[in-house]
Structure 1
């Protein structure tokens, strides 16, 4: 049985990856410090003999007994509300955490996949974004703590590949959504759905002309899985290229939820990207991958998930206490 370590395993994407690797017959070692993850996301693995959990912060030394075949590094705050509240921790998990995991991969002779992001492209001057575009990022802006953590993550990963011959993979993840997201984490889908559930007007930043491209989580996980098992070393965009403006998307959410809210407008955050659309030609060619689940279907599943949560679960989903991490 092959063994895989998944960091950030109690998070949105991390927990879905645990599902996939258990399904594929792997022994899964899940690691998380619950800074943004939720224990409930991995609760269903209790008693599974092919699953074990380690409560650990990846910025600290990592030790895993026995052999290890694969590492998937998904530990990182990924939403604006989170990484703006804990900027130092965000930078540390992208730098120290990645360094620790690359060292572990080298020691275990394991293949490692690094979760990067479309945010490495910043506010792009090229549209749609291709993997050979270097990006337009403000290194000292408020979003720089996340963008630069991920850009450094890619750089050190390629350095380990070139210098040590380490087997590495890099996935550039575009906006992904689905069950187990947290409400009010600053990302547009849970923000809109949270407002709809509370009967509030939907907040659109700027004039709503900025665009995003939303990929359902099952499609994202499929792309990540194929990339891990591929022979390609460079970064690969995994996302849904169907682009929509935020204003149009707010109208879709109002229609989906059957509410009577209207949209209200606030100032656009600093360095918020005006366009976001992946060019997935490389993923199609290398992996035979493209998204299968349309936005209408995926959004309904996601809204039904949020609507099914109890009041206690909704509270946990909407509130995150960073007091133990703020000073670190």
Structure 2
């Protein structure tokens, strides 16, 4: 009896055939590159746990931004590292805070770049938490006023998108109200809607100097064991006015990216976080993996899971890979 089966390999016979039927692609336009701006002069510090990632003072931002533009990256997200911190993170919402000044610089010299402002308090508070602290408690509602003030000051500085990352209940509603009442009704919100209390954030704390001085963030960031809760969080943010939804981290949470993609018809952003970056860089430096192949496979998996955009420290590397491939 003759065997009956399907020949799926017919569509894999050559590189051009595989490209012809490829379902998902990583493009330059999909990438958002993080920038760490620090107070001071003539500063370019490599983050010790993130090879190839640097902190820049405003006067050194030009070299970073020129490279970003040359590589074809269209969007950046700006984080700030202030010299001084206090209990209420006042540097976050100061009109001349480090993020605000970095935004002004970028928008004045590179007006076509889409600038996303990370809107949080943790880099600016002496205790390292993302809100107002009373005793050992992180207070939700008093934190909302400060987050709204921060968002308004960033919009005034020229931010194209506000990205609140603190996971306080009602943070999108408070920020949307504040922006609208201040005349920024057209500034969209890219909410860190689904942000897990993850161990993959470690290297970022070197970059942003944002380690909590007591306890942890488990009372406001999500339990990594929970899946359905992510949809409740995302639904609340949509109802409150979010225009984008971020899932963070990305690599170990691709099931959540797919759940959010299937449930909501807004742009979905995967945050390829610092730990995911540093592990690949460390393995590549030891010669254990093919860095380019791993990076492209990993980012493609995020697109396959349903992400429209990816915040990634690999953005510059990916653009170089794409340039190399276009020459071949």
Q: Indicate the TM-score class for this superposition, using the shorter chain for normalisation.
A: 0.3 to 0.5
User: TM-score under structure 1 normalisation?
Assistant: 0.34
Larger Rg: 2
User: TM-score under structure 2 normalisation?
Assistant: 0.34
